[in-house]
Chains A and B, each alone.
Chain A
Amino acid sequence: MTELDHIGAALDVQSTAAAPPVPESRSRVARLAWKILPPVVFFVLFVAFLYLVSYVLLSPERQFLLPPPHEVVQNGLFDWPNLHEQLIALKDTTKVSLIGLLIAFVIGTALAILMSQAEWIERSLYPYAVIVQVTPILAIVPLIALWFGYDVQARVVVCVLISIFPIITNTLFGLLTVDKNLHDLFTLQGAGRLTRLWRLQLPHAIPDIFVGLRVSAGLSVIGAIVGEFFFRQGTPGLGRLLDVYRARLESDLLMSTLLFCCLLGIAVFLAVGVVGNRLTRKWFEQGERA
């Protein structure tokens, strides 16, 4: 989660992490450079380090442990059959994680709304949400396989389980932290529960809902990959490929697939951030509720 947050900050998506202070007087180019340069420099150093390990530290017969980056790119990204295989897997994993995220969003928001309506509901349900969150996903996966089989549904269920908690907590937080004076204003006007929820609590919770969604987006991708990795059946996704390449000791392809996993996570994370920003930037003052 924290890694994803940093990526968000570096690419300037609405983020809870504070951006480094940049003097306003600098030109656009300078500001852009200030944002992009540090990660680029780090990337170059990191690649150099990989080469160092691959060529200098590892003996030739053990080089397969860490193939040099250009081989990863060549075999993983510029070899059509290999690339094709990975792209199909990417599509499959993307589908599963997005469906999972959508279901988690619908169920999570509904549960949060329910919990916001009465303390007894919150107290009855919340402990179970926590239990779902703290149970290691791998411990439940066998059960899921037993109940839902090994195909898409099972993987979607894993996604939902792993990503629902941040949606519940953030939405609930948003619904319950409406200013008391605003509630009083609605009370004076004789507003009922539904009016209050629809006109006051839900709009107020929108920024929080997106904070939760952003975290969940990353988790949902993880869920999809973990599910595939474990189930080893049905249409092959990225997780399945990882397992296959590992078995074949094809570490270059293993790494390029890993790259796709990261890119998918980042893409989903950023997309949710952009949508959230679009919806709220006109009125939401960042940090006003920090």
Chain B
Amino acid sequence: MSGTFAREQPSGRPEQGEQVIAFRSAGKVFPDGTEAVRDVSFTLRRGEFLSVVGPSGCGKSTLLRMASGLGPHTSGEVEAEAANIGFVFQDATLLPWRTVRKNVELLAELDGASKAERQRIAADAIRLVGLEGFEGHYPKALSGGMRMRTSVARALTMKPPLFLLDEPFGALDEITRGTLNEELQRLFVSERFAAIFITHSISEAVFLSTRVLVMSQRPGRIVESFDVPFGYPRSPELRFDPEFGRLSGEVSQALKAGYE
């Protein structure tokens, strides 16, 4: 199966639904005077997968925290409609004293779900990320990739309409990263959530997204936005497609320009 094949099926693109997030000239200045984000505007709808690339320290994590309400904006407007948010942190952020199952159950537990309900939800999520058989393991006995998958599973349990992912696969090897990319995409196609995905990998961004935003050096502004025309599901070979290469090149150019 080739990327061309995928591209010829635009119907594979998830339906775009209601607006989940809107930034209108939003900015963030920290109390110490550091201006991290300036004049950012975009809207995100359900069924959209938005990747953000930019130089290190340009304000990507800050942007994500603004979107989640964890670190409110200081200027402009941020409209966030999502009742609950699946936040996946850069490291797995698991509770080391809980097993995989108990970690995945955490959010439902905090929400006051019954035990039976929690267990059902957790079992589903664990199956989705392919961690069956490891439910009783503690994080210490998991590989980095498995911890990350546990973290993704936990975020999945609440069936959030909005996913915020902060370089979730940054510390993983190429192969594991590729596998998790495909799993994430499969989930995206089946669950049709909205997502903001921070990454340093251009190919990861293009491979997963409906749209890629490129940010400049701090204070972070959006310097360019690329629509990704490929439909879903996308096969891993899409990465070798000439159109994929061209688009990645353009994103790379914009990223370099942002450094100046």
Contacts and interface: CB of A to CB of B under 8 A. Distances in A.
A284 B98 CA distance: 10
A203 B106 CA distance: 14
Contacts of B139: 283
Nearest to A186: B110
Main secondary structure of the interface of B (DSSP, over half): loop
A181 B93 contact: yes
B70 A200 contact: no
A117 interface: no
B138 A187 contact: no
Interface in A63-79: none
A200 B138 contact: no
Nearest to A185: B93
B97 A187 contact: no
Contacts of B109: 199
Nearest to B94: A182
A239 B97 CA distance: 41
A206 B106 CA distance: 19
Nearest to A192: B110
Interface residues of B, number: 20
A187 B70 contact: yes
B140 interface: yes
Contacts of A282: 138
A200 B87 contact: no
Contacts of B106: 185, 199
Contacts of B87: 184-185, 188
B187 interface: no
B93 A189 contact: no
B173 interface: no
A284 B91 contact: no
Contacts of A188: 68, 70, 84-85, 87
A191 interface: yes
A181 B164 CA distance: 13
A283 B96 contact: yes
A249 B188 CA distance: 84
A182 B93 contact: yes
B110 A203 contact: no
Nearest to A196: B110
A185 B90 CA distance: 12
B96 A285 contact: yes
Interface string A223-259: 0000000000000000000000000000000000000
Given A181-B93, A188-B87, A283-B98, 20 more contacts: A179-B93, A181-B89, A182-B95, A184-B87, A184-B89, A185-B87, A185-B89, A185-B106, A187-B70, A189-B107, A189-B111, A195-B110, A199-B106, A203-B95, A204-B97, A283-B96, A283-B97, A283-B139, A283-B140, A285-B96
16 contacts: A181-B89, A181-B93, A182-B95, A184-B70, A188-B84, A189-B111, A190-B110, A191-B110, A195-B110, A199-B109, A203-B97, A280-B97, A282-B138, A283-B96, A283-B97, A284-B97
The 8 tightest CB contacts between A and B, nearest first, are A189-B110, A283-B138, A181-B93, A181-B89, A283-B97, A203-B97, A283-B96, A285-B140
